[in-house]
Structure 1
């Protein structure tokens, strides 16, 4: 569904990502991982058409995404940016209703189908009891679920999320990730997310892309990516990789900075 070809991304003429070639597998959960400043959020935003590349292409079903009409793209993919905020007093239902915009013609009122989809999105995310509550009065996990409900209401086959668990406590992190896993299993949606926690990426993603300074170091299954030498190169840490006794998936246990990272920290100090 989504492929990047020789993608260069720049901010104010400074190239952040150079000659990026990646493929996002369809109907799977993909996690972009990397250290802060590695370019993973920038890559996500460019694939979602929020940023225009300096050169190269993002292809959606073989078509250059930046040449497609906005409404056409909005029917194919939805994006949940990092730390979104809703206007004060806006209710969950009001927020989710915005997800139907790509499907409306002109300034037409909501159709019966629109209302059914909105109701389904609220119920699917477990937000029915909060439907008429202002978003700004919800807990962090509830707010994230409300925004995910809005993205679901777009009825897109692809869902992008930029660090959906940032600033959430452990219970709310699991709440959001379990919801995304459930949505994938039931709806077979393609989900692409920037993930801060390596172990969360390993547990919930089928495909991982490890990024360092805008370059892909390794892409593959969690078993293929979660290797000590790859983690050291990408994050600058030494670690042990063990198997999760419940799932058999790899878990990262960091124990020290790499030698190059120590020298870098010492130089800064």
Structure 2
């Protein structure tokens, strides 16, 4: 049984239902990628499973307990969430940002403990940000900033890490830098990682499990080889594409060539 699962999960924004009676189990110790067109409900599902949104119906379970019934600090010790485009106050150093990850373990106005300091040092080290610990966040490159935010999430000491489009607005080099870091955290630290991903080829290369979302429902769910198919791309994204096996990585490679507009013939 998966540690984290949604059962009959429904979420509304005002009068509009975005997610309806979703059942989804997150594989333990794996990287799961949520993919789908814009507005399909990917980020909403991620936020609801991270308890940032209150469901309209259904339940998210963590270790058999309803997430909504758990104490907030206890939840924060179990899972961490990195939203899209996080913003920090001007002048905040990398080390200060990462130290915020220790908030669930602190009481009142108590200063950080030796354990807190050790976790901050470890998070900075594992993300490669230790040399920049005293530097202001605004002086970091896009990839370095994202690694600093990931370090803050790691400092929470959680086994589960949620990331909402962690490579958005990064150039190709910095995208790979972040994805390789997440891959390392999964392999070496055993972290369960759930992330919303726009690039299907990134999902195929770095995720063990892929969930394709359409209209708030998981319409495809499985390994990259099972999910990233030409039929899925037509149904979920409305695109025509060839899917081949990448000879370098052995995973599916998506090559789009058109839109589903009544004509499904590949160009000569």
Q: Deviations over 1:143-170 (max 9, x none)?
A: 0000000000000000000000000000
Displacement of 1:13 in angstroms is 2.1
3-state SS of paired residue (1:5): strand
Structure 2: gaps of 5 or more residues: none
RMSD: 1.1
5 Å-filtered alignment, 1:139-218, equals 139-218=141-220
Runs (4 or more) in structure 1 with deviation over 2 Å come to: 259-262
5 Å-filtered alignment, 1:108-127, equals 108-127=110-129
Distance in 1 (CA, whole Å) between partners of 2:20 and 2:130 is 44
Are 2:216 and 1:243 equivalent residues in the alignment? Answer: no
The two structures have a TM-score, normalised by structure 1, of 0.96
Distance in 2 (CA, whole Å) between partners of 1:196 and 1:261 is 25
3-state SS of paired residue (1:186): helix
Q: What residue is the counterpart of 1:137 in the other structure? A: 139
Q: Deviations over 1:198-239 (max 9, x none)?
A: 000000000000001111110000000011001110000011
Q: Which moved more, 1:54-63 or 1:165-174?
A: 54-63
Match of 1:92 among 81, 91, 94: 94
Distance in 2 (CA, whole Å) between partners of 1:38 and 1:55 is 18
Distance in 2 (CA, whole Å) between partners of 1:102 and 1:225 is 37
Q: What residue is the counterpart of 1:267 in the other structure? A: none
Equivalent pairs counted in the alignment come to: 262
Displacement of 1:259 in angstroms is 2.3
5 Å-filtered alignment, 1:224-235, equals 224-235=226-237
Structure-2 change in CA distance of 1:93 and 1:260 (3 Å): farther
Displacement of 1:261 in angstroms is 9.8
Match of 2:11 among 9, 12, 36: 9
The two structures have a TM-score, normalised by structure 2, of 0.96
Q: Deviations over 1:84-141 (max 9, x none)?
A: 0100000000000000111112221111111111011001101111101111111100
Displacement of 1:60 in angstroms is 0.7
Distance in 1 (CA, whole Å) between partners of 2:250 and 2:173 is 22
Structure 1: gaps of 5 or more residues: 263-269
3-state SS of paired residue (1:50): coil
Distance in 1 (CA, whole Å) between partners of 2:147 and 2:104 is 20
Q: What residue is the counterpart of 2:48 in the other structure? A: 46
Structure-2 change in CA distance of 1:151 and 1:247 (3 Å): same
Q: Does the 8 Å contact 1:236/1:261 carry over to 2?
A: no
